[in-house]
Structure 1
Amino acid sequence: MAVINVDAQSCKPYDVVILGASCFTGKYVVREALKFLNAPNSPLKSLALAGRSPSRLSEALKWAGGPKHAQKIPLLCADTSDPDSLARLASQARIVLNCVGPFRLHGQPVVAACVESGCDYLDICGETEFMERMEASYHDEAAENGSLVVSACGFDTVPAEMGMLFHSSHWIGPSAPSRVEAYLSLESEKRIGANYGTYESAVLGLANAHKLAELRRSSPRRPRPKGFVIEQQKELGLWALRLPSADSSVIRRTQAAFTENPRGLAGEKESIEHAKMRESFWSSVKPAHFSLKIGSKSLLGLLPVITLSVFLGPLSRSRVGRWLLLKFPSLFSLGLFSKKWPSEEEVASATFKMWFVGQGYSDSSVALNPDTQVVTRLMGPEIGYLTTPIVLLQCALVLLDDRDNLPKGGVYTPGTVFGPTDLMQRLRENGISFDFISWKPLSS
């Protein structure tokens, strides 16, 4: 297999470069990308993998695609600690898909390289402070250079964003939601440990919570849910626990952008047809307070989340505590998180359901108290290794297919960029369902 050095400036540009392709999630992203490489009607015509180790990239490619791709996919040497290598990488790609986390440690140099070169950037980050800091630091430069930077293009937070927009579409006419609570239920025939990278990001995020607070003090204040409460959602048959989430913060940012731009963001070379569709789409959106809750069919099923919540706060504040948390994730989460990678069978056995329960008004112009409830639902495969690659690749394909109709550049949320596109339909065609469940009046 040929190993291509990023120094070679004469390399043909790539539609997509997957950075961090040899990590466990990255391998699944590679496998998903190969489904669309040179497939009929696919805009993905050229693909490269990037990372520090050519041998590991080679093994990832063999795992994802087998021998038939061994001589066809270039491998690029790049390291997040080497800005020059990232600059050379970004200069060769239309889109960089970044799978290298934790993003607070490794993400900023990649964003900087893409913004400087005018390359589009997507990642699977679920780290609130990183995303808000990138917006504060790079939005203006990205807008000027034509670099579209969109974080959280994995399970965090596209299902929540698109699910919220889908839910909004079912409040017809004068009706409007006041709040929407999402209940996430993870199901599996086999016990599967959640992604360790997500756990590491959570530990580091809590350890640096003061930095997010400092960043937000310099930005306009937005309402945020407080604390966590266990509840029984009898209608769904779930016990639920509300926790702070990237989904909530990203949706707040999308709604803030909607308030500032009620017709959405125009593309630099947008067609008349797309402009009409964009304006029609955003005119039907009805913002509401959003919160996410982790659900389980039994109260006992929430015990790992409760246990982790108890330990995370105090231990993340000290160096020794963080070392213990990161060294023994399974112990502190009762097996919810593990350093052990799941098997293919374990991944294939897992699914998710995300219920959106909205309460609001049948006529928002006259109602004083919520009198209507709407329930919608998303369903799909395992969230970290199957749904996340599906979402990331479909976001990339939308960029390749529809770039002229999208904003020239800037740092945005997925909902802001992809809301008026066909992303929802693409997700439906790739195993993620959007369903209307019920509408009913609320008893007074």
Structure 2
Amino acid sequence: MAENNPSIFDVIILGASGFTGKYVVREALKFLNVPNSPLKSLALAGRSPSRLSEALNWAASPHLPPKIPLLTADTSDPNSLARLAAQAKILLNCVGPFRLYGHPVVEACVESGCDYLDISGEPDFMERMEALFHEKAVEKGSLVISACGFDSIPAEIGLMFHSKHWAGSSCPNSVDAYLSLESDKKIVGNFGTYESAVLGVANADKLMELRRSRPKRARPAIPGPGPAKGSIIEHQKHLGLWALKLPSADSIVVRRTLSTLTENPHGLPGVNETPEHHKKREAFWSSMKPAHFGVKLATKSLLGLFPVIMLGIFIGLLSKTSLGRWLLLKFPSFFSCGWFKKKGPSEDQVASATFKMWFVGHGYSDSSLASQGSKKVDTEVITRVSGPEIGYLTTPIILLQCALSLLNDRENLPKGGVFTPGIIFGPTDLQERLQDNGISFDFISKKALPT
């Protein structure tokens, strides 16, 4: 139904009729007005009420759709975004690429004081929003948290889970995440992810310029030497995987979280924090052990890395010119060897896909060993995060659980500001929420290494 009278909704989903948005709607309906869920009111927003209605019908199928307000808003119309933000406790933004469409949405949320979550994996957008809006968001009481999807919650919460297994005086030096995508059908990625990658490489110089213009962030004290450069391609025999080093948004987001933690060793206090949560937050962060972190894409065969290598070469060569970008975005299937298509994956392809992210940490059985210059790492810890297809199933699960955690625990979280998800959700129950909704966190092994 169309909504004429402004109300305050717990959650508004912007871009609800898009490829990812409709899956977010389907996930949200599971928690709307059910026992023990803080989600009591929901609205959908986008440019076309008819498309929003179609998305709601699809998301509710085979049941009749609930009576949910459908709100008209366009990222090119600041007034419509201001009206939208004024009606939301939390706005979930599914309209990407975020470097093209995200700025006015963040601005509207900050001005209104509502909270903002998105599924961006675009470092330039995330860091630019922090530079532009952090102070105003603190003042207005608006929490702005990007990367609340597959980028970068599995990496962030997965690293925190991994850190728990370095008990006592033991400590990690480096943790590498090996991401393996699996399916008994052809894996087809989200075109929005592909477009964001093309534009990200095309504008890499602007990100470097932004970073040079800002004060340097604190660096965590990580025991032992910096990580060796290593080879681009690696055979991880223990896991049975071939791996390719990636320039990953996940590693950038993790570094930003660790910098914030270095500047705030006990984390960020809540706006009206309970004594219990204060104690829980300080205990959580005091046990967190930072490490050098990187991400590698992994496959079971060396040949499986070929499409990724070719895509990287094509994007590197063509993204710097307007003609090259046009070709890349016009023919994604050709340049990605079929990995990305404009129409996206079929329902069967989505349902059959899964992911595993292996966290392989190397460090010291006792942190005092790290100060001995020639002493090599002597301990290996392996943990794993796993779940369903990353773009249309895992991402909506994560985004909704972040929103529910925010609704449920808002007084224990900071008043406002632009932050990474890890520093906000680390001490909350988000890991348990994800575990209850199909995303597993598992301890695999711990062993001594020959020295």
**TM-score, normalisation: structure 2:** 0.95
Alignment correspondent of 1:134 = 129
Deviation at 1:243, TM superposition (A): 1.0
Match 2:177 to one of 142, 157, 182: 182
Name 1:65's counterpart in structure 2: 60
Is the contact made by 1:193 and 1:340 (CA closer than 8 Å) also made in structure 2?
A: no
SS in 2 for 1:365: helix
Partner of 1:4: 3
Matched residue, 1:384: 391
Task: Pick which of 367-376 and 120-129 moved more.
Answer: 367-376
Cα deviation per residue 1:109-150 (whole Å; 9 max; x = unaligned)?
000000000000000000010001111111000011000000
Q: Say whether residues 1:282 and 2:279 are aligned partners.
A: no
Moved over 6 A (4+): 221-228
Helix, strand or coil at the partner of 1:94: strand
Does 229-238 or 339-348 show the bigger shift?
339-348
| 1:196/1:337 contact within 8 Å kept | yes
Q: Percent same amino acid at aligned positions?
A: 71
1:3 is displaced (CA, Å) by 1.6
Quote the offset at 1:337 in angstroms.
1.1
Matched, 1:32 2:27: yes
Give me the whole-angstrom Cα distance separating, in 1, the residues matched to 2:388 and 2:344.
17
Residues 174-253 of structure 1: pairs in structure 2 closer than 5 A: 174-219=169-214, 220=216, 229-253=232-256
Q: Within 2, Cα distance between the matches of 1:99 and 1:257?
A: 26
CA contact (8 A) 2:188 2:349 kept: no
For 2:82 and 2:228, the matched residues in 1 are separated by 39
Contact 1:228-1:243 within 8 A present in 2 as well: no
What is the aligned partner in structure 2 of residue 323 from structure 1?
Answer: 326
Partner SS state of residue 60, structure 1: helix
Q: What RMSD in Å do the two structures reach over aligned CA positions?
A: 1.5
Q: Following TM superposition, by how much is the alpha carbon of 1:4 offset from its aligned partner in structure 2, in angstroms? A: 2.2
| Contact 2:233–2:244 (Cα < 8 Å) also in 1 | yes
Give runs of aligned pairs for residues 279-318 of structure 1, distance below 5 A: 279-318=282-321
Evaluate the alpha carbon distance shift between residue 80 and residue 226 of structure 1 in structure 2; reply closer, same or farther with a 3 A threshold.
farther
- Check if 1:438 corresponds to 2:434: no
Match of 1:402 in 2: 409
1:254-296 deviation digits (Å, cap 9, x = unpaired): 0000100010100010000000000000000000000000000
Q: What is the CA–CA distance in structure 2 between the aligned matches of 1:115 and 1:230, rounded to whole Å?
A: 43
Q: Say if 2:181 and 2:354, in contact at 8 Å, map to a contact too.
A: yes
5+ residue gaps in structure 1?
none
- Tell me the secondary structure at the aligned position of residue 281 of structure 1: helix
Residues 61 and 69 of structure 1 are in contact (CA less than 8 Å); yes or no, is this contact kept in structure 2?
Answer: no
**Residue 372 of structure 1 contacts residue 442 of structure 1 at CA under 8 Å; is this kept in 2?**
yes
CA distance in 1 between partners of 2:200 and 2:356 (Å): 26
Offset from partner CA, 1:60-90 (integer Å, 9 cap, x none): 0000013855451000000000001000000
Contact 2:138-2:416 at 8 Å conserved across structures? yes
Say if 2:426 is the partner of 1:423: no
Give the whole-Å Cα distance in 2 for the aligned partners of 1:224 and 1:208: 27
Paired residue type of 1:300: L
Letter in 1 for 2:410: R
Q: By how many angstroms is 1:340 displaced?
A: 2.3
Deviation at 1:341, TM superposition (A): 2.2
- C-alpha contact (below 8 Å) 1:21/1:29 kept by paired residues: yes
- State the partner residue of 2:223: none
* Structure 2, gaps ≥5 residues long: 220-225
Cα deviations across residues 322-346 of structure 1 (Å, max 9, x unaligned)? 0000011111111111112212111
TM-score (norm 1): 0.97
Select the residue among 156, 163, 178 that pairs with 1:161.
156
Q: 2:27 corresponds to which letter in structure 1?
A: E
CA contact (8 A) 1:227 1:243 kept: no
Aligned to 1:412: 419
The one-letter code matched in structure 1 to 2:385 is: L
Aligned residues: 439
Deviations 1:360-414 (CA, angstroms, capped at 9, x unpaired): 0110123432110000001100000000000000000001000000000000001
Structure 1, 217-226 or 116-125: larger mean CA deviation = 217-226
Q: Is the aligned partner of 1:265 residue 2:260?
A: no
Distance 1:192 1:202, change over 3 A: same
Distance in structure 2 (CA, Å) of the matches to 1:225 and 1:246: 20
In structure 1, C-alpha distance between the alignment counterparts of 2:384 and 2:114, rounded to whole Å = 35
Counterpart of 1:86 (choices 81, 99, 102) is 81
